């Protein structure tokens, strides 16, 4: 890894310690510089043009290419902050970024949801996925949810709610639907005493990873028959190794 990339990764981690941006951007930068075989001060806008062509020939989605360009552009902005003789930024947004169409998420039929939740019987997993379904929690928000973020018995006139840490370490409040609240109450009444403060500990008493939650849901979809072995109820999840439920 280039020394500058390592410093860039540390800088990103300090700015957003709970985000995974530093991991993705570092991987994108390593890919770019392995492909270009050039030092940062040798890269030109023409090289970025060629890199875009390479990514498109490899079949990468527009969103993926744009994210890689953002990683490169942010890296050069970092160099400009750190040094007086930083190289010019080779990524020119109006020249390099591609427009991408917006698609609405697929609407899941009620029958398919009932089929899925018929096999999600463990209280922990049922509560976890009902929070995602009924309250719109992201996978990362489920992972980071702690016991002191849960307010099931608020003061008079207030509703049961959760304090969440989302993308970019931003905080937000989510109010619980009756179904999600009941499932969470049931799980917390039997949650084992473990060292972690995570609302949903894994079988080792630690905190789930994002990938672990995704694999868990994909496994239930497979068991329910509402998605092929390579899908998560219709959403592609490549490289799944099937396991019987959440671990």
Domain regions of the chain by residue span:
3-96, 110-236
Give the chain's count of helices (H) and strands (E): 10, 5
- φ/ψ of residue 71, rounded to 5: -60, -45
Q: Tokens 């080779």: give the residue.
A: 90
- Please tell me the predicted confidence (pLDDT) of residue 16: 84
What number does CATH give the domain 3-96?
A: 1.10.150.130
**pLDDT surpassing 80 at residue 245:** no
- State the average pLDDT over residues 209-213: 92
Q: Mean pLDDT for the chain?
A: 86
- Looking at per-residue confidence, does 243 or 226 come out higher? 226
- Please tell me the predicted confidence (pLDDT) of residue 111: 86
**pLDDT surpassing 80 at residue 233:** no
The whole model's pTM is what?
A: 0.58
CA distance 230 to 227: 8
Superfamily of domain 110-236: Intergrase catalytic core (1.10.443.10)
- Please tell me the predicted confidence (pLDDT) of residue 243: 41
Alpha-helix residue ranges (DSSP H) falling in the chain: 3-15, 21-36, 45-57, 62-82, 93-96, 110-117, 123-135, 139-144, 178-188, 210-224
């Amino acid at each position: 890894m280039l020394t500058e990339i390592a410093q860039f990764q540390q800088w990103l981690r300090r700015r957003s310690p709970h985000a995974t941006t530093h991991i993705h951007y570092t991987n994108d930068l390593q890919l770019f510089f392995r492909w270009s075989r050039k030092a940062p001060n040798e890269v030109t806008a023409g090289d970025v043009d060629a890199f875009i062509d390479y990514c498109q020939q490899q079949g990468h989605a527009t969103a993926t290419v744009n994210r890689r360009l953002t990683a490169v552009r942010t890296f050069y902005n970092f160099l400009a902050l750190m040094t007086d003789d930083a190289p010019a930024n080779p990524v020119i947004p109006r020249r390099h970024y591609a427009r991408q169409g917006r698609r609405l998420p697929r609407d899941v039929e009620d029958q398919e949801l009932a089929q899925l939740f018929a096999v999600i019987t463990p209280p922990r997993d049922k509560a976890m996925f009902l929070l995602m379904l009924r309250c719109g929690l992201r996978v990362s928000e489920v992972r980071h949810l702690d016991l002191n973020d849960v307010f099931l018995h608020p003061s008079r006139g207030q509703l049961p709610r959760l304090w969440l840490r989302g993308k970019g370490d931003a905080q937000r409040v989510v109010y619980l639907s009756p179904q999600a609240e009941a499932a969470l109450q049931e799980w917390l009444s039997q949650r084992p005493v473990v060292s972690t403060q995570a609302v949903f500990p894994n079988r080792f008493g630690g905190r789930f990873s994002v990938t672990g939650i995704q694999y868990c849901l994909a496994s239930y979809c497979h068991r329910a028959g509402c998605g092929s072995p390579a899908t998560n109820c219709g959403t592609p999840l490549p490289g799944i190794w099937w396991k019987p439920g959440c671990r």
